[in-house]
Structure 1
């Protein structure tokens, strides 16, 4: 699974990255996590508001910080 965190480095973007990394480790998922900070790359995903969460090329959430349990649900769903 490939997970991308979209964001310029705002507080919510950093929090999203931290939660995703913790959950991937806790759930023992095989995931490559990348952080995309370049605005042009973020726009290519169609995301205008950050943070954004992309799993396997699909934008899951943008413009808000999802809850930990919500992120966990997305990761589990993508890994099955």
Structure 2
């Protein structure tokens, strides 16, 4: 599984990245987490508001920080 955390490095973006790492560790799912900070790359994915979360090429969250439970649910689908 490939998970991309999209964001320019703001506090909310860093929080989403850390929460995503924690969710992956707690669920035991094998995943590669990539932090994308380049706005051109983020816009290519159709995201205009950050932070955002992309799982296997699908944007599943944008514009807010999700809870640990919500991220676990998203990565287990």
TM-score scaled by structure 1?
0.93
TM-score scaled by structure 2?
0.96
Task: Please state whether the residue corresponding to 1:48 is helix, strand or coil.
Answer: coil
Q: Hey, which bits of structure 1, 4+ residues long, moved more than 4 A?
A: none
Q: Structure 2: give runs of 5+ residues left out of the alignment.
A: none
Q: Structure 1: give runs of 5+ residues left out of the alignment.
A: none
Cα distance in 1 for residues equivalent to 2:15 and 2:25: 16
Size of the aligned set, in residue pairs, is 77
Say whether 1:18 aligns with 2:18: yes
Counterpart of 2:8 in structure 1 is: 8
CA RMSD of aligned residues (A): 0.6
